[in-house]
Structure 1
Amino acid sequence: MSNPTATPTTLAYRHQVAVSAATGDAISKAAWMCFGSGDKAYSPDEDVALVAEFARVPVVCVVKGSVLTVRGNLTGIQAGDNVLREFSVETESGVMMGRRVVKPKQFEPTSEIELDLDFEY
């Protein structure tokens, strides 16, 4: 059954998976959630990085069935004066897996937000 909230993966990540399937090499794990202030629409076949990254944090990954949920937390201190408009997940080797554009969010120093990106395999 398809997950309607799943994030389409980038062409760069799909390429990495295809090469791993062909060669038997390991796929680089989901490692970072990146946060940015860019508001350009997501293009899975073209995007390779956030438009304007201002922070990144290590992620927690949870697998349920065929869905990988990647979770990251951004604090107001990490955000500073930046407005959150985009976030993404990158592999340990630096390949963007997927990206989301969100309504602008500003932070107080004591605030925090937890964000998830779901990927279905």
Structure 2
Amino acid sequence: MSNPNATPTTLAYRNHVAVCAATGGTLSKAAWMCFGSGSKPYSPDEDVGLVDEFARVPVVCNVAGTVLTVSGTLTGAMAGNHVLREFSVETDTGVLMGRRVVKPKEFESTSEIELDLDFEY
């Protein structure tokens, strides 16, 4: 990958892409950014979802060349008393595309954070 910020895609997502390429099936679109409090390290070959999801939001997608940037915003009202430690992107059919583990972030009810995941094709 030439983009150092690119998130490795999961085995489940790579399989989904391969099956679509082989069969002419429809590729599921990036649809959800999910937020969780799990701190288990990311394992692209094993992960199928967040460890401990507490919220999800629809995403905004942008493409520049071969890089897909997926963005989502978590508000303090959505987070409640949860501490953000992980976030991910899922397709509209529930396939985990990728996941990131971050330093713990606590929220006040009026705060928010926009997070991005980059995927390179």
RMSD: 0.7
Structure 2 residue identity aligned to 1:92: D
Query: Shift in Å at residue 25 of structure 1?
Result: 0.9
Q: Deviations over 1:59-100 (max 9, x none)?
A: 000000000000000000000000000000000000000000
- SS class of match (2:119): strand
Q: State the partner residue of 2:14.
A: 14
In structure 2, the residue matched to 1:32 is 32
Separation (CA, whole Å) in 2 of partners of 1:5 and 1:109:
30
Aligned to 2:89: 89
Unaligned regions of 5+ residues in structure 2, if any?
none
**What corresponds to 1:69 in structure 2?**
69
SS of the residue 1:63 aligns to: strand
Q: What residue ranges of structure 1 are gaps of 5+ in the alignment?
A: none
Shift of 1:4: 0.4
Secondary structure of the residue aligned to 2:12 is helix
Q: What is the TM-score with the length of structure 1 in the denominator? A: 0.99
Deviation for aligned residue 1:116: 0.1
Instruction: State the secondary structure of the residue aligned to 2:72.
Output: strand
Give the number of equivalent residue pairs: 121
TM-score normalised by the chain length of structure 2: 0.99
Identity of aligned residues (%): 79
Structure 1 residue 26, shift from structure 2 partner: 1.3
Residue of structure 2 in register with 1:112 after alignment: 112
SS of the residue corresponding to residue 17 of structure 1 reads: helix
